[in-house]
Structure 1
Amino acid sequence: MKKTIKGAEYAYHSLKPYQASWPTVVCLHGFTGTSATFNQSLKTTAKINFLTIDLIGHGNSAVYVHPYRYQMPTLIRDLEDLMKELAIPDYFLLGYSMGGRVALAWALTFPENKLGIMLESASPGLKILPKRIARKKSDRKLALRLEQYGIENFVDFWQELPLFASQKNLAPEIQARVRQERLQQAPFGLAMSLLFMGTGSQASYWTVLKKTDIPILFLAGQLDLKFSQIGLQMAQQAKNFAYQVIPAAGHCIHLEQPEKFQQAVLSWLADQKE
């Protein structure tokens, strides 16, 4: 299904028929992914609506739009308008990696009707300006690589990053599915995401994090030392913050340990009802 928001199409999908009496969780995928990444990890009979969205530049959502549509402030405004179009009054956000950055920025900017935030291997951005500048330069090089050498060269490089090393332990068919998902992306969309929505371009939300009362769950993989540390740092800043490390998982917990991921999500959601 698709909705057009200010001229840009956003593709979305419900993992089960929508029930107005159930709580809704809006799921946002990571860079090079699509909403289909959650299909297996959130297969549950629990009375919860899981609504997945293809972020701009990815999957079946708009790609060839003005670069400003990729900027975080514009994107989260589009997502806010999308939910109004869908007439869903309140909801939880769940985001993986880049999708987690989007979820956090969205909820902290538009806190009304956000029941909680679930972050999987995500961050509030970079605190220090020189680090943001350095990361922006790095993201620009990656975008140029995409434009110069094409999607297959980029995917070959991307999947070999140390961040994804633990995914080598996944079943061959899952690895093939992830690779195919990445190969189906449009180079322009990925390049624009890096340039205008990458960690280097994103504002730091660390100071805003201190002020929010929205409940937050942070999930980190035991093998992902970088984001395990980020989660610990966030725990020292946020008020209503739950931090959980998932054993035998790296950066992409929902693929590497789908049952443990689902259990953590459902358990935290059940706690929010109490």
Structure 2
Amino acid sequence: MKTILVDDEYIILKQLENYLKSYEEIDLKEVFTSPSKALKYAKDHEIDFAVLDVEMPGIGGIHLGKELRKLYPDMILIYVTGYWDYLKEAIFDVKADYYIVKPYNEADIKDMVQRAVLLSGRLKRKVRFETFGRFNVFIDGELIHFSNAKAKELLALCIDHEGGYVSMEEAIDKLWSDRPFDEKTKNLYRKAVSYCKRLFIHYGCDNILQNRRGYCFVKKQKVNCDLFDQEDRQTNTFEGNYMEDYEWAREKEAMLTMKYLYNE
């Protein structure tokens, strides 16, 4: 489970971090003493599990929990507190899954992790995009077949934009460059968008691809991707090939190559 910890007391935060490092179920991504920085991180990085202190300066743990719930309704949310007065609000208003009380011990942490593992079954199916080499889409580890090649390429273009908007004009220019920019070609774009959305709904992963009048985009925080991992410096698996089936991807491939060589 992709996990973040948020507590403004640094010593307690490090203690909790050290406890959780021994659990293989916990994929500890970041720890924060600032709730606002934790929220900023969550907007760009998928989270499965958050452990929050209740009483913190700034937006506070209760408000942070509400905002995280908006981003990830199915995430596991557990509070750590020394203030009993806040527990009712945390449990009922924020719909927290559990709480532990300071000072806690190793047995409390073990119980917390066991509860989180039991709750993890409600997490939505995992979508992963692979861009290094050929572009592929996996859902829960299963390689997804596209009968509409242009729909797959449009999805690849959205991933290339890393959550940014892809306009209809750009998509047509790159995917249907041999066709005039007329209503028939616009309908090909619309059919490709519709195909992708139906495919994700079929696999229980709706809202991955969003579209508005004249553009579409991928919700970056809802998916995993080797490109995003590399950009966030979590991992570096790029070896020189990027979306090799698509000519429009050569520009970013060159950029990735330069970064790779520089970091080496």
Higher relative contact order at CA 8 Å, sep ≥6: structure 1 or structure 2? 1
Superposition TM-score tier, normalisation by shorter sequence: under 0.3
TM-score normalised to structure 1 length: 0.27
TM normalised by structure 2 equals: 0.28
Structure with max Cα Rg: 2
